[in-house]
A and B are shown apart, each in its own frame.
Chain A
Amino acid sequence: MKGNKKSGTVWRGLTSITASLLAIMVGGTGIVNVNAAFINSRLGTSNYKYIDEGDGTSDSTYFKSDYTSLSDVIDAKNALAEQIAAEGTVLLKNDNQALPINTKSEKVTLWGLNSHNPTLGGMIGSSTAVAEDGQTAYSLEAALAAKGFDVNQKMIDLYSSDAVTAYARKGGHALQPSFGPIYENPSAYGVGEAPASIYTDDVLSSADQTAAIVVISRDSSEAADYNPGMKNATEGDSFTTPLALSDYEKSMIALAKKHSTKVIVMINASNALEIDELKKDSEIDSIVWVGDPGVNGFLGVADVLDGTENPSGHLTDTYAVDSTSSPAMTNFGVYNYTNNSASGAADAMNADNKSDWFVVESEGIYTGYKYYETRYEDSVLGKGSATAADGSSTGSAWNYASEVSYPFGYGISYTTFSQQLESVDVKVGGDSTAKVKVTNTGSVAGKSAAQLYVQVPYTEGGLEKSSIQLVGYAKTDVLKPGESAELTISFTADLFASYDETAVKADGTEGAWVLEAGDYYFTVGNGAHEALNNVIADKTGSTDRLVSTTAQDTIDAANVQKWNLAQTDMETYSANVQNQLQDMDINKQIPGTVEYTTRSDWTKGWKTIDAITPTDDMMVGLNNSLYELTANGDGAAWGVDSGVTIFDAMNFDDSGKFTGVKALNDPIWDQLVNQMTLDEAIQFIEKGGDDVENIDSIMLGRTYANDGPLGFTYDQVSGYYMRWSKSMSSEATYVAQTDDKADYSMNTMPTDPVVAATFNADLQTQEGDLFAEDGLWSNESSLFAPGMNIHRTPYNARNHEYYSEDPVLTSAAGIAVCKGAEAKGLEMEPKHFAFNHQESNRSGVSTFISEQGARETELRAFQGVMSSNSCSGIMTAFNRAGTKFVGAYSNLLINIARNEWGYEGWYNTDMINGADYMNWRDITAGGGGNCLTTSAYDTSKLGTMAASKDKIAKDTKFQQMMKYNIKFFLYQMADSNAMNGTTSTTVIRHVLTWYQILIYSLDAVFTVLTVLFIAIGLKKSRKSSIKVETMTDQGGEIR
């Protein structure tokens, strides 16, 4: 009896265990399946495979690799990365010919703890992790050793010792990225330098007869910013701002000056630092900027240091004396609305009901050098109260010499060059050219970049104009001493047209791109400042009062070409143009809120806008409800079988060679979209993810996309083999997991500022080409790159992912990279469109800017690559444009990009990090594409798109927008490497991965065991009951 009872509880206990495990497995199975795309991307598994039901004889490799092995691709990439880093290195100062270093006779000492922990790239999207086995991320120490430098080991040992580890940045980083909201500016940053007390006499004496290479470093990261109010987190150290030299750095430099034969300062940062004291210090012989050079870049830097390469890079940002002195810094950081409670202004803000953020870009068009140089000209000419103390970094009368250390575009060489602007041929509405004769006037062979600038006519008090603008550039090959070359710089006049919000065109619409009548001054120069000096000298006939930034500057009035426009033109570049961004101007929402920077009065524009109470109109955007689903129209057709596949949209010549895709207005694109089911369309939009799910109805397999500007990021893709399945092993670029380089990292290029600093379109195009090779060899079809936002201030810690403060340089570099990649089938997706100018509270920050400022700076950076359709896609930004999520802002996405520029690519959002404001409904209605998420909408107030299918099916207008957006995606996808391996007879078969088979098996096992244990338990219980009844019948007693 007792035995039976005990047995019953055992079976019940076992039932409890298996039932609980079954419950966990059922929940876990759901989690796994929802996240299967992500898991597959990590495990290199796939839920589908292609099957060719034809005879298998057709050539389905439409985009071919130029390499026969993965090893060759990697070698080519490493070599190019090294070359880019070498040409992107910028020599700022070189007194006493301290550089190059003679590695045969000179020994070097690396100074600064950050020489041991340099920053190679960023964190998250531009991280520089590499495979542990076989791949090298070259630190400065490793690169110098590889290039044969004799480096002082005692200093390296000191920096490697436990005694100083506590001061060091971990892996070259001290920024702390955060995806969550913050309500205070970031407060601390650890420079990672050590106090002078760590240097023993023995170490110091070891440096005495060596050349000092002093590394000053600041790191970079996505989802982080610097802030002028930060304190130094390194114990005992301090600074005035995080971009200024810290006390420990200064004391370290003092020791280096005392204990060396020469001092070379290396700037390892993507954010312009305050280095004026180094520039003016006669004991500092050389300053060289290397940016964040990536895992191979220090090899190229070493080539510059030893003279193997002659530096030819130029600054992509202004190096200001005071990093906070530009008007853009007046409004940078964390500012909250006074009240944007969805329940109304009467509902007070509190700890649980906090307001959102905004930033007012009060500088208008005066970003970077356009502020410093324009104010400089006005200060020389005595206009606009330019010498007033307002905005002066010294607190007294503003003067250029006290404001700028090194101007935008500056960079010197081991040799000297003369550049003569021989002619300029401007064709409004056509292609313009300038011819520049470049001569190597020194004694060392080298390359020279010619930068073409223009000054457009300005009327005091009229339309805001920068006094100098870059319009194009070109670079020579290596010129031997005495050798000359003629460069042709191509440009278009729209690059220096001004946007006039008040202009009324012939068709009566308001807003136009304007070329005002008057003289246009073209010139070349070693940077914007030298160019402007040429122009001012030509205009005034005098060099009096002109300021040179360095002794190497020249002022040559004769090097100016004047072009006259007789009549103001506001039509040529204004087709389909009218004001679209008026609601981004806070003064149009709440009159008088901001006083914009204006060259008519430089005392204006310095007021911080730290409090805004949104109006009812603004709350429409802030409430994340730009569109409501309604029942309207006659419905939309889905699942209409036309018997076409995406393959049918491809064109082939008589020999069977792929020649491109059918035009966007061809009916096949509508046929393809209509053939999709509504479920597929919903899946495409809300499950964009890093990968896009199959669209079986049109035979489009899963396609893969990933970050970032340095190449496909290692933490997301983790090697070449990850996106391949064995069913694709017949493809020429297939990489098996057993390949010895299968798990190599692909993100091995230098960061974008270094790429731009080369001023070399050929190198930039080659970078794109090798990105595309990685796409072919890793089975990836799309790269979220390049970053094309403007460096609005030096304080955005994500500046390393963007090229420059200048939109024309950004545009040109972006176009070159994208063209290189797209030619070989990799779909490039420049990011973050648009106005992503700070990472603090990037999720949902409202960006306010004047329409002129927006169009002439940020949008000009994107316009070239989008209007030329050099990219297949665009990633939208996290921020709002005004109060509306920018990824749902139809004025920008459709009215400007598509209707004005003729953009034919698709959009996808950045990662959904704020599922309520980045909601699928507003995105779709606003002309966005797909949403980079896998399950974020599960937690949103709106819920998932799939859950709203019935409501969607009743909203014809909404469904038409779904189709409109998807069509661009299909149009681009058909013209990409994603089609490799697909033929007219290809079909897609769904399969389960090994881990899905495993979990389904476990589900089954636990189900069977649970049922079994229940049955046994019940049986035992029944037997027990029968025995009890029997015993009771026989007079027994229960105990």
Chain B
Amino acid sequence: MKEKATGFYFTLAAALLSIAGLVLYPGVMYRLTIVYVFCAAAAMLTLITVICAIKGIHRAVFGALPVINAALMASAGAWAVSLMVNQIGYVIAELDDKSTIMGLIYFEIAAVLAMLLNIIASFMKQEKNA
């Protein structure tokens, strides 16, 4: 792990946020299974890559990892909104309490941050010697 560059730690932080998304998503009023899949995939890919790195199996996927994860978390954020459109409308029209969309807001914060960290990571090296 010593040879890991700053980008890798950004990717790792983004993966943690993906896991946070997994934890937060059940708090969203209306949920889609595919969103769990996106978040879990992002976290799992990172985990597998880290394991591979530790075992020195292969490093080629390191470069693609933040790109894929960014897209996965962007998808998660977009799809999470799809079922909540009506509810957001109710809250904007002051017909329902803001608390009903707070779960979505927390999730979106995690998803967007994960996406941004992945994008930043993708501009960086994942390994010092890469």
What residues make up the interface of A, taking CB atoms closer than 8 Å to B?
5, 8-10, 12-13, 15-17, 19-24, 26-28, 30-31, 34-35, 124, 176-180, 223, 934-936, 938-939, 1021, 1038
In the complex, the answer to whether B71 meets A22 with C-beta atoms within 8 Å is yes
Q: Which residue of A lies closest to B94 (CB)?
A: A177
Question: Residues of B contacting A35 with CB < 8 Å?
Answer: 85
In the complex, the answer to whether A16 meets B67 with C-beta atoms within 8 Å is yes
In the complex, the answer to whether A9 meets B125 with C-beta atoms within 8 Å is yes
B106 at the A interface (CB under 8 A): no
In the complex, the answer to whether B97 meets A180 with C-beta atoms within 8 Å is yes
Q: How far is the CB of A53 from chain B (nearest CB, A)?
A: 38
Instruction: Please measure, in the bound complex, the distance between the C-alpha atom of A1038 and the C-alpha atom of B67, giving whole angstroms.
Output: 26
Given A13-B119, A16-B119, A17-B119: A180 touches B70 (CB 8 Å cut-off): no
Question: Residues of A contacting B30 with CB < 8 Å?
Answer: 938-939
Instruction: Please measure, in the bound complex, the distance between the C-alpha atom of A34 and the C-alpha atom of B123, giving whole angstroms.
Output: 35
Q: Mark B67-91, 1 if CB is under 8 A from A, else 0.
A: 1001111110111011101100010
Q: How far is the CB of B33 from chain A (nearest CB, A)?
A: 12
Given A16-B67, A938-B30: A178 touches B125 (CB 8 Å cut-off): no
In the complex, the answer to whether A24 meets B94 with C-beta atoms within 8 Å is no
* Complex A-B: 28 CB contacts under 8 Å: A9-B125, A10-B123, A12-B64, A12-B67, A12-B122, A13-B123, A16-B71, A16-B119, A17-B70, A20-B70, A20-B73, A22-B71, A23-B72, A24-B75, A26-B75, A26-B78, A27-B74, A27-B75, A28-B78, A30-B82, A31-B85, A124-B95, A180-B97, A934-B86, A935-B83, A935-B85, A938-B83, A939-B83
In the complex, the answer to whether A20 meets B82 with C-beta atoms within 8 Å is no
What residues make up the interface of B, taking CB atoms closer than 8 Å to A?
7, 29-30, 63-64, 66-67, 70-75, 77-79, 81-83, 85-86, 90, 93-97, 100, 115, 118-119, 122-125, 129-130
Given A9-B125, A31-B82, A938-B30: A20 touches B97 (CB 8 Å cut-off): no
The total of Cβ contacts below 8 Å across the A-B interface reads: 100
In the complex, the answer to whether A24 meets B97 with C-beta atoms within 8 Å is no
Given A13-B122, A16-B122, A20-B115: A27 touches B71 (CB 8 Å cut-off): no
In the complex, the answer to whether A27 meets B81 with C-beta atoms within 8 Å is yes
Instruction: Please measure, in the bound complex, the distance between the C-alpha atom of A180 and the C-alpha atom of B79, giving whole angstroms.
Output: 24
Question: Residues of B contacting A31 with CB < 8 Å?
Answer: 78, 81-82, 85
Q: How far is the CB of A45 from chain B (nearest CB, A)?
A: 18
In the complex, the answer to whether A223 meets B119 with C-beta atoms within 8 Å is no
Chain B binding site: helix, strand, loop or mixed by DSSP? helix
Chain B CB within 10 Å, residue with most, of A20, A31, A938, A939: A20
Q: How far is the CB of A650 from chain B (nearest CB, A)?
A: 37
Given A124-B95, A938-B30, A1038-B129: A9 touches B78 (CB 8 Å cut-off): no
In the complex, the answer to whether B74 meets A23 with C-beta atoms within 8 Å is yes
Question: Residues of B contacting A939 with CB < 8 Å?
Answer: 29-30, 83
Q: Which residue of A lies closest to B129 (CB)?
A: A1038
Instruction: Please measure, in the bound complex, the distance between the C-alpha atom of A26 and the C-alpha atom of B75, giving whole angstroms.
Output: 8
Question: Residues of A contacting B64 with CB < 8 Å?
Answer: 12
Q: How far is the CB of A25 from chain B (nearest CB, A)?
A: 8
In the complex, the answer to whether B82 meets A180 with C-beta atoms within 8 Å is no
Question: Residues of B contacting A5 with CB < 8 Å?
Answer: 125, 130
In the complex, the answer to whether B82 meets A34 with C-beta atoms within 8 Å is yes
Instruction: Please measure, in the bound complex, the distance between the C-alpha atom of A818 and the C-alpha atom of B77, giving whole angstroms.
Output: 47
Instruction: Please measure, in the bound complex, the distance between the C-alpha atom of A344 and the C-alpha atom of B43, giving whole angstroms.
Output: 39
Q: Which residue of B lies closest to A176 (CB)?
A: B94
Question: Residues of A contacting B67 with CB < 8 Å?
Answer: 12, 15-16, 19
Q: How far is the CB of A588 from chain B (nearest CB, A)?
A: 35
In the complex, the answer to whether B95 meets A24 with C-beta atoms within 8 Å is no
Question: Residues of B contacting A934 with CB < 8 Å?
Answer: 86
Given A13-B122, A19-B70: A24 touches B78 (CB 8 Å cut-off): yes
* Closest 5 pairs (CB-CB, A-B): A27-B78, A13-B123, A16-B122, A23-B74, A939-B30
